[in-house]
Amino acid sequence: MRDVPISNCEREFLLAIIAEKKRVDGRQPTDLRQVKIQFGSNFGSCEVSFGKTRVLATVSSEVAAPKQRRPNEGILFVNVELSPMGHPSFEQGRQTEESVELNRLMERCLKESRCVDLESLCIVVGEKVWTVRVDVTVVNQDGNMLDCASIAAIAALAHFKRPDVTVKGQEITIHTSDERDPIPLSIHHMPLCVTFAFFHQGKFLLIDPQEREERVTEGKMVIGMNKHREICMLQVTGQMLLHQDKVKQCTKMAFVKVVEMTELIQEALANDKTARSKGEKCGFAMSSEKEINTTVSPAKLVEDVSKTDLPMSSDSDSGSEQEMVEAGPQERPVGDSPKVVGKGVAIIGSAAVKKWEEEEERVKGDKKGKKKKEASVKEASVKGQQSRPQASAYF
Amino acid sequence: MEVDIRLPAPRGRLAAKEDDEITLVTPGDVITSDTGFMRGHGTVMEDDSLKSTVAGVVERVNKLISVRPLKARYTGEIGDVIVGRVIEVGSRRWKVDVHAKLDAVLMLSSVNLPGGELRRRSEEDERMMRKYLQEGDVISAEVQNVMSDGTLSLHTRSLKYGKLGQGVLVPVPPSLVKRRKTHFHTLPCGVKIILGNNGYIWLTPTVTESNTGGYEVDLSPVSRGDREEMARLRNCVLALAEQKMLLYDTSIMYAYEESLKFESKVLLKSEVASEIAELAQQRLEHEGYK
């Protein structure tokens, strides 16, 4: 089902604020949204979210015959699927231009950069090799699927462990995880994609465009890079011309982002490893935040539970269950007084936290600082006997 | 100091009238196990019983049982007034988004071109198509024909229809727009409203009256008062739609009159919106509208 088209007003508004270096979600042009990397309880499953965009990558492996051209190399297979759950315009089992492009870019990013050591996946030359399959599913689309998918895919590959194999003559034994520890893939480097969206004839660019911004963009440039500053992929789409300097500038920006992201992946991997080694619970269910909208602050709730627990331990009668249920509501927190956040606004409990007032104050503070600066600029210009009308035209 | 305390979650819907004989079903509900009935839209025959495939109201015409979905894409009928947005300019036709499953088609031959109705359409006109209507323009039109695959073919061969200039587009579920003799209303508050059968509602100030049917739009600034009226009406329409009340001139006007005691921005609060819808509904019942 096709999407509702974007209205002219909205398009003009988006373009106008981009020209003022602002964005609808309050980010700076080169800011990323909040990135979250979560690993599943199985090895090789990873979910990455960029704001509301969510991508799930799962890695699986099986033994198969190698390609005739490369008898001593394993096979890496990448597949990107846009599930209808992700966006109303995605349809099941139909290859759209968008999905083909995404598939191709992911393939180029992961396969052609040779980031996975395929030779180590060989079991018997020319006969048996490991086929590693990366399935990337877009769970929710809110723009910049590619960057999200590339992180998910490489993180899942780094997280994945394949079963150990021993070869004795003609006999091949695949050990289960109980017999021998599974072996991680050897990853040489982590190529990550950074997408730049261009506006106003390439004059303004945004990193990590969200869905609305993607709809009004003139063109996009994707840079695939690793933290060693090696460009693995570069693609420009759309109707625009880019100057050479712009491309160089973008590669510099991409490098900063890639380093940031690689650190984040490594941190997430390390966290997962320590959690597993300590025997703590891990997986999506553990790491996902529960969104609870309550009028009672969580701290109070915890206190409540302890209070209601006490009578149970004191009188251990058999028929106390009904009493307990009744005792519950009596112990409701009474002292949760409304907190005044700003003028004309009251918030009770943890629901509906807003930050507008704080933001305004901060902006005001900035303006004061700027005014002081402006004043000093004016002074300087007077001293230097130069008339500089543009000094006051900054605001 | 003024303190505003809101509920953490919106209140439930207005209580439905009990006396109505409406049967609401959800997908999979058994409508009847009697085999004497015929299967209509939104139903399926499974295990010798008729089941619903959509969430909606059961309708019966003699032996035919169908389910009208509460919230669905628009399915057009000939003669419907629609408001849509041009999304593509093709050869001798425009593609129009009308919130249907497929895009509607507006042929070059079914529009009124400037210079009289009997003018011949030349190749020149084909080249000038983008000058009349381009991507992103909002138009009002009438359904001329429904093709075999469900695509709607539109026409604007009346002075009522054509390109829409400045205004507000409010999308609501198409089933909420009541079918009436006329869908163009000039409300006493100085706003013109087009209730598209496809669920797109267009609000525009009456000052730009002179250019209906044409392809020229008046882009002069709209006064603040007019804009406030439009904003108030928009919020009223949304308040009614939120409570699943039918939209037509009277219901909108009643909601508007009830809303006058509030500031228009206050209408965005769900409690106030539901209160207005409730008051409007009471008034409609009192006046004998159903």
CATH of the domain at B56: 2.40.50.100
- Cβ neighbours of A2 in B, within 8 Å: 97, 103
Mean pLDDT, range A308-322, rounded to an integer: 41
Measure the CA–CA gap between B279 and A215, rounded to whole angstroms: 41
Report whether pLDDT(A101) > 80.
yes
- B-chain residues near A1 (CB < 8 A): 73, 101
Structure-model confidence comparison of residues A282 and A132, the more confident one? A132
Closest CA of chain B from A379, distance in Å: 41
CB contact under 8 A, B8 and A5: no
Domain housing B63: 24-69
Residue A328, pLDDT above cutoff 60? no
**Interatomic CA distance for residues B200 and B82, integer angstroms:** 7
* CB of A2 less than 8 A from some CB of B: yes
Residue A198, C-beta contacts closer than 8 angstroms, at least 6 positions apart: A204, A205, A217, A218, A219, A220, A221, A238, A240, A242
Residue B243 lies in a domain: no
Q: Is the pLDDT of residue A285 over 50?
A: yes
pLDDT over 50 (residue A345): yes
Q: Which amino acid is at B93?
A: R
What are the phi and psi torsion angles at A213 (to 5°)? -70, -35
- The yes-or-no verdict on residue B116 having pLDDT over 80 is no
**What does the pLDDT read at residue B16?**
56
In this predicted structure, the answer to whether residue B17 has a pLDDT above a threshold of 70 is no
Lowest-confidence segment of A64-73, A212-221, B13-22, B268-277 by average pLDDT: B13-22
What's the mean pLDDT when you consider all of chain B? 86
For A9, the closest chain B residue by CA position comes to B136
Is residue B181 in some structural domain? no
Q: What is the mean pLDDT of chain A?
A: 79
Mean pLDDT to the nearest integer, A10-35: 92
Please check whether residue A308 is in contact with residue A327, taking contact to mean a CB–CB distance below 8 angstroms: yes
Provide mean pLDDT across the span B152-164: 89
Closest residue, chain A, to B8 (C-alpha): A351
In-domain check, residue B63: yes
Q: Are A207 and A29 in contact (CB under 8 A)?
A: yes
Question: Does the beta-carbon distance from A293 to B9 stay under 8 Å?
Answer: yes
Selected residues 69-98 of chain B with any CB under 8 Å from a CB in chain A: 73, 85, 87, 97
Average pLDDT over residues A218-225: 93
User: Could you tell me which CATH number the domain at A17-277 has?
Assistant: 3.30.230.70
Domain coordinates in residue numbering, chain A: 17-277
Which residue(s) pair with A187 in the sheet? A116
Q: Residue A326 above 50 pLDDT?
A: no
Specify the 3-state DSSP secondary structure of A39: strand
pLDDT in tens, B210-243: 554 566 777 778 888 889 999 999 999 999 998 8
pLDDT for the residue numbered B123: 79
DSSP A195-218: EEEEETTTTEEEES--HHHHHT-S
Write out pLDDT tens, residues A357-379: 555 555 565 555 554 444 444 44
- pLDDT at A247 > cutoff 90: yes
Report how far apart the first and last C-alpha atoms of chain A are (Å, whole number). Answer: 46
pLDDT tens column, A182-215: 999 999 999 999 999 999 988 899 999 999 999 9
pLDDT of residue A359: 53
What local confidence, expressed as pLDDT, does residue A310 receive? 42
pLDDT, mean of residues A12-17: 94
Give the least confident one: A244-258, B134-148, B198-212: B198-212
Condensed to tens digits (0 to 9), the pLDDT of residues B43-93 reads 999 888 999 999 988 988 999 999 988 888 898 899 999 999 999 998 889
Give the DSSP per-residue string, A317-349. -TTHHHHHHHHHHHT-------EEEETTEEE-T
Which residue type occupies B33?
A: S
Tell me the chain B residues in contact with residue A345 when contact means C-beta distances shorter than 8 Å: 3-4
Residue B183 CB-density burial (10 A; 0-12 exposed, 13-18 middle, 19+ buried): buried
pTM confidence score: 0.73
pLDDT at B262 over 60: yes
Nearest Cα to Cα of residue A223 among A248, A240, A189, A200: A248
Instruction: Report the half-sphere exposure of B147 (CA within 13 A, side-chain side).
Output: 11
Q: Where are the alpha helices (DSSP H) in chain B?
A: 123-127, 129-132, 224-242, 249-259, 270-287
Q: What share of chain A is helix, strand, coil (3-state, %, to 5)?
A: 40, 25, 40
Chain B residues in contact with A11 by the CB 8 A cut-off are 136
Average pLDDT rounded to a whole number, residues A158-182: 90
On chain B, the residues whose CB falls within 8 A of the CB of A338 are 5
Cα–Cα distance for residue pair A55/A49, rounded to 1 Å: 6
Cα of A229 to nearest chain B Cα, Å: 42
A344 vs B4, B8, B99: nearest CB? B4
Q: Which member of B1, B101, B136 has the closest CB to residue A1? A: B101
Q: How many residues does chain B have?
A: 290
Name the domain count of chain B.
1
**How close is the nearest chain A Cα to the Cα of B39, in Å?**
26
Strand A45-50 and strand A35-39: the pairing is: antiparallel
Kind of pairing between the strands at B168-171 and B191-195:
unpaired
H-assigned helices in A231-317: 244-277, 284-287, 298-314
> Would you say residue A237 has pLDDT above 70?
yes
B286 part of a folded domain? no
A261/A272 Cα distance (integer angstroms): 16
Interface A–B counts its CB contacts (< 8 A) at 39
In a domain, B96, yes or no: no
- Which of B97, B137, B139, B198 to mutate to probe the A interface, most A CBs <10 Å? B97
pLDDT value at residue A376: 45
C-beta atoms of B4 and A345 within 8 A: yes
What single string gives the DSSP state of each residue in A87-124?
-TT--TT---HHHHHHHHHHHHHHTTTT-B-SGGGEEE
Could you say which of A293, A344, A348 has the minimum Cβ distance to residue B1? Answer: A344
A316 pLDDT exceeds 80?
Answer: no
Residue of B nearest to A351 (CA): B8
pLDDT of A392: 35
In the prediction, which pLDDT does A373 show?
A: 46
Q: How far apart are CA A231 and CA A220, in angstroms?
A: 17
Question: Helices A298-314 & A320-330, crossing angle to 10 degrees?
Answer: 150
Instruction: Indicate whether B37 belongs to any domain.
Output: yes
- Alpha-carbon distance of B1 to A130, in angstroms, equals 71
> What pLDDT, on the 0 to 100 scale, is given for residue A393?
34
Of A232, A237, A270, A256, the C-alpha closest to A155 is A270
Contact (CB, 8 A) for A29 and A23: yes
Q: Answer whether A348 sits within 8 Å of B5, measured CB to CB.
A: yes
Contact (CB<8Å) A352/B2: no
Q: What is the pLDDT of residue A366?
A: 57
Residues of B in contact with A340 (CB under 8 A): 3
Predicted pLDDT at A315 = 41
> Which chain A residues are within 8 Å of B227, Cβ to Cβ?
none
Task: Mention every residue, 6+ apart, whose C-beta is less than 8 A from residue A322.
Answer: none
pLDDT at B42 over 70: yes
> pLDDT tens, A140-155?
999 999 999 999 999 9
Asked if residues B76 and B152 have their Cβ atoms less than 8 Å apart, the reply is yes
Nearest to B232 by CA among B200, B209, B203: B203
**Inter-chain touch A1–B5, beta carbons under 8 Å:** no
- Smallest Cα distance from A353 to chain B, Å: 11
